Amino acid sequence: MRGFILWLIAYVFTGLIGSLTHQLGATSFVPDVTLAFVVYAILNLRPLPAALTVAAIGLMEDGFAGGGVIGLHTETLLLVFLLLQTFLKRWRATTSFGVILAAEVGLFVHDLVYLILALLFDSEFRGAALVIQAVIPRMIITLPLIPAVLAIVRRVDRRFFRPEPRLFFDG
C-alpha cells in the first residue's frame, strides 16, 4: 500500500511538472523528480515492494513520454534502482546531502542509460544530441525540487502509515 501511495504521488508530481513546463514553454529542460521517489522507495520499502514501485513509476514515465519504445524508462529506472540500492545500503547515505547526491547521480545515470538503450532499441530515436545537451541542465533544474519532493512524500508517508521513515530529511 505504501508503494501505491508513493506511485500516486509520483504520478501527480510528474503530471504537474509536465503540464507546468508545457504551459511555460520550457520543454527543453524538464525537471525529473522520479529519482527522488526511487531513493525514497529504496530507503523506506522492502526490496521487492520498492522494485515494483519503481517499475510502476517507470511505466508511468513511459506513458507520459509517448512515441518511444515502451519499457525504456522502466528498464532504466530499475537499473538505476539496483545501482542506488547498492550505493545507499553500502554507505548508509541517509543524510539530506547523501540522499540528494544519490538522486542527482541517479538522474545522471538514468539519462545516460536511457540514451544508450534508446540508441540500441529504438530505430526512430533522433534525440541523442538533445539528451546529451540536457543532462547537466536537467540536473541543475531538478536539484532544488528534490528536497521539496522528499519532504512532501515523507509527510504523507508519516500521515498515512505512521512509521518513522529512515530518511532523515526535514526539508
Grid cell 540536473 is found at 139
Q: Which of 17-21, 41-45, 82-86 has the lowest mean pLDDT?
A: 17-21
CA distance 141 to 107: 11
Taking Cα atoms as reference points, which of 38, 27, 36, 39 lies closest to residue 64?
Answer: 27
**123-140, pLDDT tens digit by residue?**
778 778 878 888 888 899
The residues spanned by each domain of the chain are: 2-161
The three cell numbers locating residue 79: 537499473
Position 67 scores a pLDDT of 66
Contacts of 25 (CB under 8 A, 6+ apart): none
Grid cell 528536497 is found at 147
pTM of the entire structure?
0.84
